[in-house]
Structure formats: structure tokens, C-alpha cells
């Protein structure tokens, strides 16, 4: 298996499979399923958002490097991880949903915004996963190992962080006061950014048991949070107005 080269087309399909599995799981939570066209549109634009996101991340990374005289390497790493990666990725996924879903006539119930955010997040994670697998195209066993690891980790994380933002966005649609709407949105995106950043920082920069324990705790917490909030939103009014 180590010497088996994966054709590009199969590698792309292989890279999308984890996102599609999670997508099917989350779609089962929707009492009133969205149209296939809407799902594909949000998923596609979520994937497409990966490209400008990567470009912005590279630019921000270079920008933070200019502070190497003023800031310690540790602080620069923190800034890169939490702002240059986590915040940028969460914000671009939000922009996809804001631009492609929230004004669509199919958006008619509170769980929709959570679902759209999750779909965008899985689209984003899908293309990101394909790019992550390309270096392992000459080793089927290595590609399989990376795919499983990312299925349980990074891809699930993208879905859950996006769903967290979606929950607070849904709550904001019930508020008439603009300041409360902004506060709810900021709560969602900052919480998602913090946990996303902490997940990445732990995997890359921490050694020992905490390298695994912290990401596992984050995924368990976010999983419980998102699935419980789905149930809560189902009990709320059936129509959201922006």
C-alpha cells in the first residue's frame, strides 16, 4: 500500500468523503430538509472560499513576521494561530453563508442558519482536506491515515465551529436591538475562533498527553454544544426574519 500512487481524480474524491459523511449526519438533524440545490451551492462556495482564505492567511503570516523584533516567537505563533488562521477561516465561512444563503427564500427556520454554516464549513474542510492529501498521493496507507485523522479532527472541528457561529446568528435574528445582534454575532465568532485556534495550537505546539487531550476535549464540548443547540432551536419559532 505504501507504493500505490493514487490518481488525482480518486484523490479528490477520497478527500471529499469525510466531509460528505459528516454532511449526511448533520442533514439528518434537519426536520425540514433543504433542497439539494441549496446544499450543493453552499457546500461549493464554502469549498471555493478556501482559496482566498489561504491567500489572506499567507499575507497575514508575513505581516506578523515583521514584528519579530518587537514580539517573542511564542506570541507571534499565538497571533498566527488564533488570528491569522482560526479567525480568518471562521470569518470567510460566515461570509459564504451571509452572501449565498441568508437572503435566500429557503431560509425559513432557525435551524437553517446553523445548517448552512455547517455545510459551508464542510465544503471548506473538503477542499482543505484534498490539499492536505496531495503530498501523500504516492502512499495509499499514509493518505488513508491522514484522511481518518482529519475526519475525526480537523473536518469535524470545521463543522462544529461553523455550527457554533450559526447558533448565535440564529439567536440574533430574534433580537430587535442592533447592539444585541452584534454582541451575539461576536460571541459566536470569537468562541469559534478561540476553540479553533486552541485546537490547532495544541496539535502543533504542545507535546505529551495534552497534545491529544486538549483537542479531544474541544471536540467533545463543541459536539455536545452544537447538537444540543440544534434541539433548542427546533423548539423556537419556525420562521426567522432577518
pLDDT tens readout for residues 18-41: 999 999 999 987 767 778 899 999
pLDDT tens readout for residues 30-75: 767 778 899 999 999 999 999 999 999 999 999 998 888 888 999 9
Residue with cell 484523490: 11
Half-sphere exposure of residue 172: CA atoms within 13 angstroms, side-chain side? 22
Q: Is the pLDDT of residue 239 over 60?
A: no
Q: Which grid coordinates are listed for 104? A: 435566500
Q: Which grid coordinates are listed for 46? A: 464554502
Residue with cell 490547532: 200
Cα gap 31→120, rounded to integer Å: 19
Nearest to 128 by CA among 218, 18, 4: 18
pTM strictly above 0.85: yes
Amino acid at each position: 500500500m505504501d507504493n500505490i500512487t493514487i490518481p488525482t481524480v480518486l484523490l479528490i474524491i477520497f478527500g471529499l468523503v469525510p466531509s460528505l459523511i459528516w454532511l449526511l449526519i448533520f442533514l439528518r438533524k434537519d426536520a425540514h430538509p433543504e433542497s439539494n440545490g441549496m446544499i450543493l451551492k453552499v457546500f461549493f462556495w464554502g469549498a471555493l472560499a478556501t482559496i482566498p482564505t489561504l491567500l489572506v492567511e499567507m499575507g497575514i503570516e508575513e505581516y506578523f513576521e515583521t514584528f519579530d523584533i518587537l514580539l517573542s516567537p511564542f506570541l507571534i505563533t499565538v497571533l498566527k494561530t488564533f488570528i491569522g488562521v482560526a479567525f480568518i477561516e471562521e470569518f470567510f465561512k460566515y461570509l459564504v453563508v451571509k452572501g449565498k444563503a441568508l437572503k435566500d427564500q429557503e431560509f425559513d427556520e432557525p435551524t437553517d442558519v446553523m445548517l448552512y454554516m455547517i455545510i459551508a464549513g464542510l465544503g471548506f474542510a473538503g477542499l482543505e482536506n484534498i490539499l492536505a492529501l496531495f503530498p501523500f498521493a504516492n502512499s495509499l496507507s499514509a493518505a488513508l491515515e491522514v484522511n481518518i485523522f482529519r475526519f475525526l479532527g480537523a473536518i469535524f472541528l470545521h463543522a462544529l465551529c461553523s455550527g457554533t457561529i450559526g447558533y448565535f446568528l440564529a439567536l440574533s435574528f430574534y433580537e430587535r436591538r442592533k447592539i444585541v445582534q452584534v454582541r451575539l454575532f461576536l460571541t459566536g465568532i470569537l468562541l469559534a475562533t478561540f476553540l479553533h485556534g486552541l485546537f490547532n495550537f495544541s496539535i502543533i505546539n504542545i507535546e505529551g498527553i495534552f497534545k491529544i487531550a486538549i483537542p479531544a476535549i474541544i471536540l467533545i464540548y463543541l459536539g455536545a454544544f452544537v447538537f444540543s443547540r440544534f434541539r433548542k432551536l427546533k423548539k423556537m419559532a419556525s420562521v426567522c426574519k432577518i
